[in-house]
Amino acid sequence: MKALTWHGTRDVRVDTVPDPAIEQPTDAIIRVTSSGICGSDLHLYEVLGPFLDAGDVLGHEPMGVVEEVGSDVTHIKPGDRVVIPFNISCGHCFMCDHGLQSQCETTQVHDYGTGASLLGYTKLYGQVPGGQAEYLRVPQAHYGPIKVPHGPSDDRFFYLADVLPTAWQAVEYAIGSQVSNDGRVTSLLVLGLGPIGEMCTRIAQQRGIEHVMAIDLVPERLERARAHGVQAIDLEEHDDVPAVVREQTGGRGPDAVIDAVGMEAHGSPVGKVAHQLVGLLPDAAAQKVMETAGTDRLAALSSAFELVRRGGTVSISGVYGGAASPMNLLQIFDKQVQIRQGQANVKRWIDDILPLVSDDADPLGTESFATHHIALDDAPDAYEKFQKKEDGTFKVVINP
């Protein structure tokens, strides 16, 4: 089959690789019909090469049609249409029972001390072949796959693999732990209007938050958010963004801030140099640097702590990779900021989200969310354009 594979920093290719096969009774094989390119895939393209091998198959946002199932898989069958969560979880361990599927004890990667295995996402998370391919082996398929109806377009449902639950959790974490007299969040600021940040603004509005703001510097993204009522602030138009935000929030700052940017934040030149230097090291040395040193670009996260009101919440959905990243703990403590973060626990939120994507009114706008639909052969070019923010590239869907 054809698959999108990693070969080095900024070097991904479409190769012919062996077809997947059932390896465990809990496996399934799907024919992939849609697979997204995610912002966190760009971390593999740019930063996390030390934890990849040439030929690794990328992609963690797949959906498709079931071709074959193992003997222990009973809730899906050949011909069913399914979305595959990006985290691989068993559904019956302590962590899964507590709604922490991203920490599944069955699939944790003990060699690196990390959480549940992920599709297509480095040795840190199990080095499981991903879904930017014609076919995919789905581990733990007795639990993971989300069955969806035939009929509506893939775009209605495939965001259930990652974008929707990641954004839903980010908003839930932002509004679910407020300390105030009535416990209500009335103002929310989203840093970064990539696919996750944009979806966060839509979910926040759907959840009834009165004042939703966002900060970015890409004109097309700012206009997209403004089109549905978000107060979108252009980072490059203001010398003192915190003053602008406070002016709009009674002088205090928003009740909650979501960092939907992560370690690719604009405005961190030291972090950029660190990323580039790590990319030049041999893999063993580079792994050690990333495991023990701070290589993150922390502009977005530092801004979140600066912008949020005292006693507010910072919810982190953007990916960070450094193990010794400096933070202003004095400011965080003094302001009594609450912090919630982590990989999305996909299956935990599906019952909340599925009615919204099943609604023909499409309240979250999933059917028009992607800007590009491409063939698998065009994926390397799409990675480059997505990284450079060229050609209006916002969300790319591969249709193998």
- Whole-prediction pTM: 0.90
Q: How far apart are CA 74 and CA 190, in angstroms?
A: 41
| pLDDT value for 275 | 40
Coil, helix or strand for 384? helix
Strands 11-16 and 81-83: unpaired
Q: Which residues contact 222 (CB under 8 A, 6 or more apart)?
A: 193, 214, 216, 232, 233, 234
Q: Could you tell me the strand order of the sheet in which 338-341 lies?
A: 231-234, 211-216, 187-191, 256-259, 313-316, 338-341
Q: In 3D, which of 321, 332, 328 has the Cα closest to residue 297?
A: 321
Alpha helices in the chain (DSSP H): 41-46, 94-97, 154-157, 163-175, 195-206, 219-226, 241-247, 269-280, 283-292, 299-307, 329-334, 346-358, 379-388
Q: In 3D, which of 64, 63, 52 has the Cα closest to residue 12?
A: 52
Strands 146-148 and 135-138: unpaired
**From first to last of its 400 residues, what are the pLDDT tens digits of the chain?**
999 999 998 999 999 999 999 999 999 999 999 999 998 898 888 877 788 999 999 999 999 999 999 999 999 999 999 999 999 999 999 999 999 999 999 999 999 999 999 999 999 999 999 999 999 999 999 999 999 999 999 999 999 999 999 999 999 999 985 544 456 789 999 999 999 999 999 999 999 999 999 999 889 999 999 999 999 999 889 889 899 999 999 999 999 999 998 755 444 433 343 343 334 345 554 455 444 444 445 677 888 899 999 999 999 987 765 555 677 889 999 999 999 999 999 999 999 999 999 999 999 999 999 999 999 999 999 999 998 888 999 999 999 9
Q: How far apart are CA 382 and CA 38, in angstroms?
A: 11
| pLDDT value for 202 | 98
| pLDDT value for 74 | 97
| pLDDT value for 303 | 86
- The one-letter code for the residue type at 194 is G
Number of continuous H segments (helices) and E segments (strands) in the chain: 13, 15
Three-class DSSP labels, 232-255: EEEHHHCCCHHHHHHHCCCCCCCC
Place of tokens 């977005």: 300
| pLDDT value for 349 | 98
Q: Which residues contact 56 (CB under 8 A, 6 or more apart)?
A: 5, 6, 120, 122, 127, 129, 130
